[in-house]
Amino acid sequence: MPLVLSLRDVSFAYPGGPRVLGGVKLDVAPGEFVTIAGPNGGGKTTLLRVALGLERPDSGEARLFDAPADRVGDRWRIGFLAQRTRLGIEAPATVREVVSAGRVARRGLFRPFGAADRRAVDGAIARVGLEELESVPVQRLSGGQQQRAFIAKALAGEPELLVLDEPTAGVDVDAQEALGAFLGELHRDLRVTILYVSHEFGAVEEFAERVVLVRGGIVFDGRPSDLPAHWHDPSHVHP
C-alpha cells in the first residue's frame, strides 16, 4: 500500500533566510497516528507546509499520496485544522455552514450539494456531538465547542489524512485532554491517518503511535514510550 507521506532528504530555507530543515526523512503509512513535535522555531510547521505541498523543498523530495506534494490532484483527501481555530469571519456562521465549507473541495466548486454531501455533513456534526447546536452561530459556542465544529469541518470531506496544526494553542488542559481522547477514538473507529503537529503533545501521547521530534531536522522518530525522558517536554530539546 503506498505511503500517505514520504519526505526524502528534504532541505528547506525561506528566501534570504537560514536553513530551517535539513536532511529530513519521514514516511507515514496509511492509518498511522503521528505526532510531529518540537520547540517553537524548530521547523515543525515548515515541515508540515513542505509535506502538504504548500512549500517546495530546496532539495530532496516530498511526496503525498504517491505524487509530488505540490501537485497532488485530489487534495480533498486532506482534512486540515488550521492553527487558529477561530472563525475567519465576523458575520455569524452556523455550525452547519462551517462544517459544510469543509465539504466543498470534495464535492467540487461548481457542483451543488447532493444527498451524500448532506449525509457527510450530518455525520461529521454528529461525530463531534454538535447536532443540537448545528443552527447556532459558531461565535456563540464555547472554545471547546468551536474547536469541535472545526474538527467536524475537517472531517466533512471524509479525508484519508487528517492534519491538525497546533490544535491545543490557547486551549485549557481539560479541552486538550478531551481533544486527545476524541482523536484516539476517531483513529480507532475510522483508521484515518492523523498528523498532529504541536509543541505540546501530552494530550495525545497515549494515542499516537509515533512521535517525531523536529529541530532543524528529525532528532527522534519512534514510539512515545521510547522517547528519552528529557525530551518529553519538547520545548527543552537537547540533541
Partner 1 sequence: MSILDADFMRVAFATGALVGILAPAVGFFLVQRRMSLIGDGIGHAAFAGVAAGYLLDVSPVGAALVAATLAAVGVEWLRTRHRAAGDQALALIFYTGIAAGVVLVSAAGALNANLFAFLFGSILTVTWSDFALVAVLGAVGLAVVALLYRGLVAVALDEEGARVSGLPIGVLNVTLAALAGVTIAISMRIVGILLIAALMVLPVIAAGRIAASIRSTICVAMGIGLVSVIAGLTLAYYANLAPGGAIVLLAAGLAVLAMASGPVLGRRRAS
Which residues of the chain form contacts with partner 1 (CB under 8 A)?
52, 54, 72-76, 78-82, 87-94, 97-98, 100-102, 104-107, 109-110, 113, 135, 137, 140, 150, 153-154, 157, 163
User: Minimum distance from CB of 1 to partner 1 (Å)?
Assistant: 22
Closer to partner 1 at the Cβ: 145 or 216? Answer: 145
Nearer to partner 1, 80 or 220 (CB): 80
Hey, CA dihedral for 213, 201, 211, 129, is it positive or negative?
Answer: negative
State the minimum distance, in angstroms, from the CB of residue 133 to partner 1.
12
Q: Taking the complex as a whole, how short is the minimal distance between the CB of residue 103 and partner 1, in angstroms? A: 8
Q: Which is nearer to partner 1, 10 or 52 (CB)?
A: 52
Beta carbon of residue 208, minimum distance to partner 1 (angstroms, whole number)? 21
Radius of gyration of the chain (CA): 18
DSSP code at position 194: E
Residue position matching grid coordinates 500500500: 1
Amino acid at 231: W
Helix (H) or strand (E) holding 174, with range, is helix 173-190
8 Å CB contact between 149 and 99: yes
